[in-house]
Each structure stands twice: as structure tokens, then as C-alpha cells.
């Protein structure tokens, strides 16, 4: 036989080996449950397998775009693959995975529909159109045959002889996990031992909502506590539910008593409460907090105000008390703080209860802050107004006035301010509070 003839025979024999595997076409129209056509993608993935014509199919996946329900893809038949193999199909729409199914694709020269290749539960024949492809038999894998598994398992902690459930885990001297011993209320130390969390003899005591001893009559300024606050800065003094400022409203004496400053002396009807820490050796009782409802304090307004650089009187803040809110026997408390920026001009401020003047002061250009406290007492013959105002340089001044209020109409509390001379200075209402104490 000639050499040319031998070469031709070998080439003819090699052509089938180089040919691509045959493909089966799956073509269908996919709908949603509401009858509209599906739009999205189908990601088809598979494990490696060999086809009946000995083609080797590697691990891979492909994405098929589904537009207006139209679906078409060509796949290598896997119904007779080695090992037994199925395609995994994941449908997604609007960025969310909708469903997943398995396909067993047989050889076919005509297009198949999805129902012809879908594998469903309940049929173990391995055929298409509703069969479940059974996995090949598998031999159990022992731990020793997995490279490095035994070494990795030896590195993990194991249960110790003292391991029990429901306890904090500690590592014993052998590296095993034991459970911490001790009482359930104990704390676990770094070395794994346990014991009481704190030495009760070293803990500070706490006094909550104590009523200081002293007459609340508008004159008495000194009130006594059951113990000395330790540290002194731990004292929180409440007047009608509002926190008082140490140094501005009161000071703490060496014996633990509380001295209110002249402008902040508690008035008849005020409720004082004190909370503080005490030294560990003290035996002062801890007083249960009162029911806040017993204070019956109603916040009518609590806000910050505006500022002005003008020389005409400007409204810096206002509180409107709705009609029929107040009744005879009620008391309304008014507090405010003004700030002055600049040193070129003095300023004037006023506080009005409706049309009645509660306060009017003029401060110098070097005054930086002004505050004021006042009350409006609703009586059967009218309203009695009183207010105290002072500043960093402005001396304390008290003012008393009366007003004829119509309780079935709105009542306004207005804060006004102006500068003595135009310029860059500003006077502003930092904050104001209006509280109502209903008649008991």
C-alpha cells in the first residue's frame, strides 16, 4: 500500500474524533402565572461528564436571556452521560432568583420543549419528560483518605471532662473545653476561675429621688440631705422635674446640705428631689422613685428662640397657652436665658404675659448672659405675676404685677429684645420653658 493511501486512511479515521458533539435544541415560550410573558435570564450549569460519543464536557455554565417569553438553547445530550448527570437551571427575573429545576436532555434532531427535558420528583426511571436521574452508587469516604483532615481535626478544641451545657466555656490546662464552675451569679476571671463579681464592701451606695429636709416656703434656701454626696458632683437636684445647675441654682456645703441661690429659692408648691452617690460605708436608705404622675407637671413650651441686631423691639420667642388649659389654682412657671454677642451696644429685654409686663431690664454692652425665673398664679380675682432676673453683671431684680386673664381664650407669653445701638452686636433667646402646675 502506498504511503499516500495510508495517510488518507488515518485522516479519515481521525475526523470523527475531532468532530464537535451533537447538540439538542430546547425551544419554548415561558409565561408567568398571570399569563404575561416572562422576562429574565436562565443560568444553566453542569458538572463534568462524558457523552455517549466519548466527548468530554467540562465544568461550566451559560446564561440564556429570556425576552418576551422566548427561550432557546442548544445543549449536549446528557441523558446517557457518564457519570449520570443533570443540568441545573436557575430562572431569575428583576434581579431575584425565581425557581430552579433539573434537566435531562436526550439526543434529538428536532427541537424539544422544556417539559420534555425537565426532571421531576416521583419518577425514578431516569427518562426525560418527568424522570428523576438517580445518582450513581458511591463508596463511603473515610476520614483517613481525606488529605489533612485528621491533622486539622486534631487542632480543634475538644470537650474536657468538666464540660457541661448551660455554662461559660473555659480552656483547661490540656487545651480542652471545660465549663466554668461556681454560682450562677458569679463572674468568670481571665484564668478561668470564678467568684463574686464585686466586693459589696467596696461598692458605692446610691440614693435615688430623696426628698431633702427643709421648708419650701419661698424664703428657706437651705435643705438637708440624709447623707453627704460622694463625690459632690454626683448630686442631681430636681425642682419640679427640671434639673438644677450646680453653681447657678444651688451649691453643696461641706456638711452635704444644699444651699439655693437667692434667685432660685424654691417657692411654695415646688417639689424637690435629690439623687446622688454615697461612700461605701454609708448606710443611707435607697428611696424608691416616686410615680412621676404625682408631680403633675405639664410642659407647655420648651424651645430655643431667635436673635436680633435691631434697635426696635423684636419678638425673640413666644408660647401660646391654648384656651381653657388653665384653671383657677394653677401655677405657671416661666424660665428663660438670653445671650449677648459683642461689646459695642447694650440691650433691653421684656417678658409679657399677654399684655401684662412681667419683666423689663436694660443691660450694659459688657453683659454676656441674662436669665430669669417667674411665676403666674391663677386666682379667682385674677393672675398674680412675679419674676426675678439677673445676669453676669446685671444685679438681681424682682418684679410683681397682676393681670386680668380670660381663661377661655388663648394666653401668650412673649419674649422681646432690642439693641441700644445698631451694629454687629446680637441679643438672642437661647431657650425658654413654660411649665404648668395644675391645682391639686
Q: For residue range 68-99, list pLDDT tens digits in order.
A: 999 999 999 998 888 888 999 999 988 888 88
Query: Taking residues 350-377, what's their average pLDDT?
Result: 94
Residue of 356, 366, 341, 364 whose CA lies nearest to 429: 341
pLDDT at 137 over 70: no
pLDDT in tens, 38-67: 999 999 999 999 988 888 898 889 999 999
String of DSSP letters for 301-333: EEE---EE--SS-EEEEEEEE-TT---TT-EEE
Rounded Cα distance between 247 and 226, Å, is 21
> Helix, strand, or coil here: 102?
strand
DSSP letter for 213, please.
B
In our burial notation (b when 16+ CB lie closer than 10 A, e otherwise), range 154-172 reads eeeeeebeeeeeebeebee
pLDDT at 5 over 70: no
Query: Taking residues 308-312, what's their average pLDDT?
Result: 94
- Give the confidence band of 395 by pLDDT, cuts at 50, 70, 90: very high
CATH of 19-119, one of 3.30.70.260, 1.10.287.3240, 2.60.40.3390, 1.20.140.10: 2.60.40.3390
What is the per-residue pLDDT for 8?
A: 54
Mean pLDDT of the chain: 85
Q: φ, ψ for residue 412 (rounded to 5)?
A: -115, 145
The radius of gyration computed from the CA coordinates of the chain, to the nearest angstrom, equals 44
> Helix, strand, or coil here: 3?
helix
> Helix, strand, or coil here: 299?
strand
- Give the confidence band of 6 by pLDDT, cuts at 50, 70, 90: low
* Spatial contact of 306 and 415, defined as CB atoms under 8 Å apart: no
For 158, residues 6+ apart whose C-beta sits below 8 A from its C-beta are: 176, 177
Which residue pairs from 242-246 have beta carbons closer than 8 angstroms and sit at least 24 positions apart in sequence?
242/335, 242/433, 242/435
Rounded Cα distance between 221 and 126, Å, is 97
What is the per-residue pLDDT for 11?
A: 53
Domain 298-437 of CATH type 3.40.50.880: no
String of DSSP letters for 353-385: ETTEEEEEEEE-TT--EEEEEEEEEEETTEEEE
pLDDT at 376 over 90: yes
Query: Taking residues 417-428, what's their average pLDDT?
Result: 94
Comparison of pLDDT for 125 and 20, the residue scoring more: 20
* Spatial contact of 26 and 44, defined as CB atoms under 8 Å apart: no
pLDDT at 289 over 80: no
Residue 172 grid coordinates: 483547661
> Helix, strand, or coil here: 115?
helix
* Spatial contact of 41 and 61, defined as CB atoms under 8 Å apart: no
Segments making up each domain of the chain, as ranges: 19-119, 205-294, 298-437
* Spatial contact of 242 and 282, defined as CB atoms under 8 Å apart: no
Rounded Cα distance between 266 and 273, Å, is 12
- Give the confidence band of 154 by pLDDT, cuts at 50, 70, 90: confident
pLDDT at 126 over 70: no
Q: Is the peptide bond before 83 cis (omega within 30 degrees of 0)?
A: yes
Tally Cβ neighbours within 10 Å of residue 353: 24
Widest CA span of the chain, in angstroms? 140
pLDDT in tens, 199-230: 555 566 788 899 999 999 999 999 999 888 98
* Spatial contact of 385 and 402, defined as CB atoms under 8 Å apart: yes
What is the per-residue pLDDT for 128?
A: 44
pLDDT at 283 over 50: no
Residue 16 grid coordinates: 470523527
Rounded Cα distance between 427 and 437, Å, is 30
Query: Taking residues 8-21, what's their average pLDDT?
Result: 58
Amino acid at each position: 500500500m502506498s504511503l499516500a493511501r495510508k495517510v488518507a486512511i488515518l485522516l479519515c479515521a481521525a475526523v470523527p474524533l475531532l468532530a464537535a458533539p451533537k447538540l439538542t435544541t430546547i425551544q419554548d415560550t415561558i409565561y408567568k402565572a398571570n399569563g404575561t410573558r416572562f422576562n429574565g435570564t436562565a443560568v444553566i450549569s453542569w458538572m463534568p461528564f462524558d457523552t455517549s460519543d466519548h466527548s468530554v464536557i467540562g465544568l461550566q455554565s451559560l446564561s440564556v436571556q429570556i425576552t418576551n417569553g422566548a427561550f432557546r438553547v442548544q445543549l449536549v445530550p446528557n441523558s446517557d452521560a457518564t457519570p449520570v448527570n443533570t443540568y441545573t437551571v436557575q430562572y431569575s427575573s428583576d434581579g431575584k432568583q425565581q425557581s430552579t429545576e433539573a434537566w435531562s436532555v436526550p439526543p434529538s434532531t428536532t427541537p424539544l420543549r422544556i417539559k420534555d427535558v425537565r426532571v421531576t420528583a416521583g419518577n425514578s426511571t431516569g427518562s426525560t419528560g418527568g424522570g428523576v436521574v438517580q445518582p450513581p452508587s458511591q463508596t463511603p469516604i473515610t476520614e483517613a483518605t481525606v488529605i489533612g483532615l485528621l491533622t486539622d481535626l486534631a487542632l480543634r478544641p475538644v470537650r474536657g471532662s468538666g464540660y457541661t451545657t448551660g455554662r461559660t466555656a473555659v480552656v483547661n490546662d490540656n487545651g480542652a473545653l471545660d465549663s466554668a464552675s461556681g454560682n450562677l451569679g458569679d463572674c468568670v476571671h481571665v484564668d478561668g476561675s470564678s467568684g463574686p463579681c464585686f466586693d459589696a464592701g467596696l461598692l458605692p451606695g446610691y440614693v435615688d429621688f430623696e426628698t431633702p429636709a427643709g421648708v419650701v416656703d419661698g424664703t428657706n434656701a437651705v435643705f438637708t440631705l440624709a447623707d453627704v454626696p460622694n463625690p459632690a458632683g454626683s448630686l442631681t437636684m430636681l425642682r419640679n422635674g427640671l434639673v438644677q445647675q450646680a453653681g447657678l441654682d444651688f451649691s453643696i456645703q461641706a456638711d452635704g446640705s444644699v444651699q439655693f441661690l437667692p434667685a432660685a429659692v424654691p417657692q411654695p408648691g415646688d417639689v424637690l428631689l435629690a439623687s446622688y452617690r454615697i461612700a461605701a460605708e454609708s448606710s443611707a436608705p435607697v428611696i424608691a422613685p416616686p410615680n412621676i404622675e404625682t408631680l403633675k407637671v405639664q410642659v407647655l413650651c420648651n424651645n430655643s428662640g431667635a436673635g436680633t441686631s435691631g434697635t426696635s423691639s423684636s419678638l425673640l420667642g413666644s408660647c401660646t397657652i391654648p384656651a381653657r388649659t388653665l384653671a383657677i389654682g394653677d401655677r405657671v412657671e416661666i424660665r428663660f436665658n438670653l445671650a449677648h454677642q459683642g461689646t459695642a451696644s447694650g440691650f433691653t429685654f421684656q417678658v409679657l404675659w399677654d399684655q401684662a409686663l412681667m419683666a423689663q431690664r436694660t443691660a450694659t454692652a459688657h453683659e454676656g448672659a441674662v436669665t430669669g425665673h417667674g411665676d403666674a398664679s391663677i386666682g379667682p380675682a385674677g393672675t398674680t405675676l412675679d419674676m426675678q432676673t439677673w445676669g453676669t453683671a446685671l444685679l438681681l431684680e424682682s418684679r410683681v404685677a397682676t393681670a386680668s386673664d380670660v381663661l377661655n381664650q388663648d394666653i401668650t407669653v412673649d419674649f422681646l429684645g432690642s439693641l441700644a445701638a445698631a451694629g454687629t452686636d446680637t441679643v438672642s433667646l437661647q431657650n425658654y420653658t413654660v411649665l404648668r402646675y395644675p391645682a391639686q
